[in-house]
């Protein structure tokens, strides 16, 4: 078809052999169209280079057809897969995803909440463990459609999506105990994160199950960055009795810990075992490949976006926690402790 004339939805419908309403549904609510028809319509849209009048559609529906995702640190590779999961569902529904790198700042959160309040976006997914002040009404209820995912907000008046962090940490601790380790150090995340307290609780529960008391000298503070993992590992090895294994509360800190250990001439896992949490892409490519807890990041994103769509389509926002399963991924960074 000549590109000199704009193609209309009527022409697309006629050439695809379907109704105008079917073309409209294929472009706005594809889940309501059969797979065969959807493929036929989209192929014709591609051939004819049809460009729907999105401004007119948005005006009629009173929707922006976009959502905002608040990311506390866009440089953290853990969030990348969650965002992919969000976009996967959003695109199926004809929605765009706007990323807001908040750096954990309330003023940045307020700006993005304002996009929803002024109808420049339809809803918001918060990946940080804080309910934006600008999103709350006078009685504590939410003024905008909002879903909390990943780093959950305790008792938030909105749907939440995540994992059982305490159970996951307990499973990893049990794995290290099963290898024969009795002095297991941990590198924590930020104090402000509920993930840190949950994983620490799971670690201590695992030790108690083996009748081992937690040793404060084996607990070091980190902040989920590689550099903090390196610094914390150095602190752990200043203890009179250093650990034979280090459980890092995310993979980036584990990579930092491994780098520090290698710089001191220690071998992983022959001298010290190191394990992580999250299973980011780098975990399987580091040396040695990292034993870690796999979070279902893509599924977390899928679920969060699906819950937000339910709200946008009139569903009641139940303030419940949707807990997804984790998996222990065994690679080469952990082994039995060295013989004394």
Q: Kindly write down the DSSP assignment for every residue of 262-315, as one continuous string.
A: HHTT--TTTT-EEE-SB--GGGGTSSSPPBEEEP-HHHHHHHHHHHHHHHHTT-
Residue 59 has pLDDT above 70, yes or no: no
Residue 225 above 90 pLDDT? yes
By the 8 A CB rule, do 301 and 86 touch?
A: yes
Place of tokens 């250093």: 242
Domains and CATH numbers, the chain: 63-162+298-323 (3.40.50.2300), 165-294 (3.40.50.2300)
**pLDDT range class, residue 2, cuts 50, 70, 90:** very low
Alpha-carbon distance of 5 to 174, in angstroms, equals 67
Give yes or no for residue 4 having a pLDDT over 50. Answer: no
Q: Are 172 and 293 in contact (CB under 8 A)?
A: yes
Average pLDDT across the chain, whole number: 90
Supply the pLDDT for residue 9: 80
Confidence at residue 140, expressed as pLDDT on a 0 to 100 scale:
67
| In contact, 158 and 322? CB cutoff 8 Å | no
Q: Does the pLDDT value for residue 3 go beyond 50?
A: no
Strands 184-187 and 219-220: parallel
Query: CA 113, CA 154: separation in Å to the nearest integer?
Result: 20
- List the end-to-end C-alpha distance of the chain, in Å, as a whole number: 78
Mean pLDDT across 70-98: 91
Residue range 40-47: mean pLDDT, rounded: 85
What would the pLDDT profile of 186-209 be if each residue is shown by its tens digit?
A: 999 999 899 999 999 999 999 999
Residue 1 has pLDDT above 80, yes or no: no
Q: What is the mean pLDDT of residues 323-336?
A: 98
DSSP state of 325: -
Average pLDDT over residues 46-59: 63
Average pLDDT over residues 67-92: 92
20-29 confidence digits (pLDDT tens): 888 877 876 6
Q: Please name the residues in contact with 123: beta carbons below 8 A apart, sequence gap of 6 or more.
A: 67, 68, 116, 144, 145, 146, 147, 308, 311, 312
């Amino acid at each position: 078809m000549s590109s000199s004339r704009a193609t209309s939805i009527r022409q697309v419908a006629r050439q695809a052999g379907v109704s105008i309403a079917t073309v409209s549904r294929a472009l706005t609510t594809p889940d309501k169209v059969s797979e065969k028809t959807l493929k036929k319509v989209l192929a014709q849209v591609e051939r004819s280079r049809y460009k729907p009048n999105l401004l007119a559609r948005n005006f009629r529906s009173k929707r922006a057809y976009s959502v905002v995702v608040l990311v506390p640190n866009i440089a953290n590779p853990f969030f990348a897969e969650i965002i992919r999961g969000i976009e996967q569902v959003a695109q199926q529904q004809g929605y765009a995803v706007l990323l807001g790198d908040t750096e954990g700042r309330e003023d940045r959160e307020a700006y993005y909440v304002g996009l929803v309040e002024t109808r420049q976006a339809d809803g918001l997914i918060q990946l940080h463990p804080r309910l934006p002040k600008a999103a709350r009404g006078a009685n504590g209820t939410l003024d905008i459609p909002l879903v909390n995912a990943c780093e959950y907000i305790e008792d938030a008046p909105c749907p939440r999506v995540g994992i059982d962090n305490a159970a996951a940490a307990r499973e990893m601790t049990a794995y290290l105990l099963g290898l024969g380790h009795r002095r297991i150090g941990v590198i924590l995340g930020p104090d402000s994160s509920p993930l840190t307290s949950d994983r620490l609780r799971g670690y201590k529960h695992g030790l108690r199950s083996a009748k081992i008391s937690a040793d404060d000298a084996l607990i070091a503070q980190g902040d989920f960055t590689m550099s903090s993992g390196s610094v914390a590992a150095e602190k752990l090895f200043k203890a009179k009795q250093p650990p034979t294994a280090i459980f890092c509360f995310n993979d980036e800190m584990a990579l930092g810990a491994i780098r520090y250990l290698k710089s001191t001439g220690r071998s992983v896992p022959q001298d010290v075992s190191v394990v992580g949490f999250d299973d980011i892409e780098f975990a399987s490519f580091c040396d040695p490949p990292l034993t870690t807890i796999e979070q279902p990041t893509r599924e977390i994103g899928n679920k969060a976006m699906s819950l937000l769509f339910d709200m946008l389509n009139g569903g009641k926002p139940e303030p419940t926690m949707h807990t997804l399963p984790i998996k222990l991924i065994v690679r080469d960074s952990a082994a039995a402790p060295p013989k004394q």
